[in-house]
C-alpha cells in the first residue's frame, strides 16, 4: 500500500523543524548549503601578513629625510625626456575659454 504524498510532505516538514533544516519539497536550488558554512573572511585575512607600510608612508612621516625613491626619479627623467622631444603634457589653460567661430547675432 502506497503512502499518500501529503503525508510524506508533512513528515518532511516535521523532520525539517526538528533538525533545523530548510523545508524544500520541490528540491529547488536555494544555496542553503553554502549559507550554512562558516565564513572564510577572517581566516583568509589572517593568512596574509599585516601591511607594515610603504615608501610613501615613510616619506610622509620623515619629510626632512631624503631617501632613494628610484621610481619617482625614473618618472621625472621620463617626463623630462618627453618634454625635450616636445611630447610632454600640454600646459594648463588659465582664464576663461576663448570664443571661436560663430557667434549669435
Give the pLDDT confidence of 4-63 residue by residue, as tens digits. Answer: 999 999 999 999 999 999 999 998 999 988 888 888 888 888 888 888 888 778 878 887
pLDDT over threshold 80, residue 69: no
More confident residue, 103 or 96: 96
Structure confidence at residue 14 (pLDDT): 97
pLDDT at 65: 78
Q: Is the pTM of this model over 0.75?
A: no
> What's the rounded Cα separation, in Å, for the pair 29 and 22?
11
* Pick from 30, 4, 2: nearest CA to 16: 30
Q: Map 13-47 to HEC letters.
A: HHHHHHHCCCCCCCCCCCCHHHHHCCCCHHHHHHH
C-alpha cell belonging to residue 39: 565564513
The confidence score (pLDDT) of residue 104 equals 64
Residue (of 28, 24, 29) closest to 9 by Cα position: 24
pLDDT of amino acid 68: 67
Amino acid at each position: 500500500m502506497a503512502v499518500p504524498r501529503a503525508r510524506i510532505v508533512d513528515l518532511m516538514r516535521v523532520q525539517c523543524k526538528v533538525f533545523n533544516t530548510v523545508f524544500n519539497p520541490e528540491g529547488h536550488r536555494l544555496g542553503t548549503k553554502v549559507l550554512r558554512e562558516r565564513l572564510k573572511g577572517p581566516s583568509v585575512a589572517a593568512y596574509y601578513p599585516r601591511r607594515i607600510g610603504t615608501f610613501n608612508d615613510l616619506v610622509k612621516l620623515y619629510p626632512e629625510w631624503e631617501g632613494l625613491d628610484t621610481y619617482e626619479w625614473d618618472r621625472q627623467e621620463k617626463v623630462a625626456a618627453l618634454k625635450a622631444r616636445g611630447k610632454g603634457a600640454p600646459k594648463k589653460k588659465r582664464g576663461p575659454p576663448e570664443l571661436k567661430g560663430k557667434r549669435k547675432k
